[in-house]
Structure 1
Amino acid sequence: MTKTATVRARIKPDLKTKVEHIFQKLGLTTTEAINLFYKQVELQQGLPFEVKIPNMTTQKILEKTDQEEELIHCDNLENMFEQLGM
Structure 2
Amino acid sequence: MNKTATVRARLAPDLKDRVEDIFRQLGLTTTQAITIFYKQVEQRNGLPFNLVLPNATTRQTFDDTDAGRDLIACENADDMCKKLGI
Shorter-chain-normalised TM-score: which range?
0.5 to 0.7
Q: Specify which of 63, 77, 80 is matched with residue 84 of structure 1.
A: 80
Shift of 1:8: 0.4
Rounded Cα–Cα distance in structure 2 between residues aligned with 1:57 and 1:25: 38
Structure showing greater Rg = 2
1:14-63 per-residue CA deviation (whole Å, 9 max, x = no partner) reads 11111111111211111000000000011011111111112345445387
Alignment: residue pair count: 78
RMSD, matched Cα: 2.8
Match of 1:34 in 2: 34
Shift of 1:83: 5.1
Q: State percent identity of aligned pairs.
A: 53
Structure 1 alignment gaps of length 5 or more: none
Shift of 1:84: 2.2
Q: Does 1:47 align with 2:43?
A: no
Q: 1:56 to 1:14 in 2, by over 3 A?
A: farther
Scaled by the length of structure 1, the TM-score of the pair is 0.68
Structure 2 alignment gaps of length 5 or more: none
